[in-house]
Amino acid sequence: MLCDIEFINNPQKLYYTGGKVNVRVTLKLEVEKTIEELLAKVIGLAKVDFRRTSDKTHFMNQKNFLVVNQTLPPGTHVYEFEVEIPAECPSSFIGKYGKILYKVDVIASRLMNLNRKFSAEFHVIRPLTNFSVSNLPQKDEYFTYFCCWPCERKILLVEAMIPKSAFATGDCIPIFIKIDNCLENERRQINIRLMQLISYRGHRLDHETEKNVIQNITHVTSNYEVHEKMDIPHHIATSSDSCDILKISYSVNIFMDRIKFKFPVTIGGV
């Protein structure tokens, strides 16, 4: 018995949440066989692996019965079906302590025989349009007092802003920083980072995190206004907020002296 799993009109095996997966299962038999059940399962799941424990959760598990209690003659038997990927499913991902994967399992059950299982994985991207997030501008400010010779007291006011809260991979994040009452010709170093936080959590309270700097910009200036643009790489994992045991989040962090701004952002696929 041979079984081939084909993704119809999609040799790249790449799909978007909210879309449909069309599958063709080709079963090849050399002799007549009685099949109790030929079951195709489309599975989406997250796995986390820690030093002592592991855990998993399903967010997609659709069953399609292709054959039930039939005797099939020798030859080739073809079955086709389609399933829809829920819009809120997370993108495929592989990390240090876990992964999010999608696959088709075809299980052939025969009376008095061991089950045969055939599998094929496919890749899923959750586009930005399938995230329910606010896309309003984000703004924050910091102020403090400082003294200038001879004993003149002034206020240092720093404002930072990004124009929206959700972006797609390959987009550019505009960043605006304004400094009021800065000492004339004083040069300041501003560091801007796009940070990724990956949280792995088991049902037994096991927990691990990864923190990654995706992009880093260092800006040295004496200007009162700073305009920067930070590119989001095409290949990074999208945000994941719908999976309990594996979450991926992003933020734009801005540092100047002891001042820090943090703006959470959502990153989706295109």
Number of H helices, E strands in the chain: 0, 18
**Which pLDDT value is given to residue 206?**
82
User: Residue type at 194?
Assistant: L
Rounded to a whole number, what is the distance in angstroms from the first to the last CA of the chain? Answer: 40
pLDDT number for residue 188: 81
pLDDT tens digits along 227-238: 999 999 999 999
The count of residues in the chain is 270
How many Å apart are CA 44 and CA 122, to the nearest integer? 10
| Complete DSSP assignment for 106-144 | EEEE-TTS--EEEEEEEEEE-BGGG-------EEEEEEE
Do residues 58 and 65 touch, judged by C-beta distance below 8 A?
no
Rounded CA separation 192/123 (Å): 32
Taking alpha carbons only, the member of 191, 207, 202, 37 closest to residue 111 is: 37
Single-letter amino acid, residue 126? R
Q: What fold is seen in the domain 130-268?
A: Immunoglobulin-like (2.60.40)
Whether 54 and 206 have beta carbons less than 8 Å apart is answered as no
Q: Which fold, 2-126?
A: Immunoglobulin-like (2.60.40)
User: Which amino acid is present at 22?
Assistant: N
Q: What is the DSSP letter of 112?
A: T
pLDDT value of residue 154 = 67
218 burial level (CB within 10 Å; 0-12, 13-18, 19+): exposed
The CATH 2.60.40.640 domain(s) of the chain lie at 2-126, 130-268
Q: Which residues of the chain have pLDDT under 70?
A: 145-154, 181-185
Q: What is the pLDDT of residue 156?
A: 75
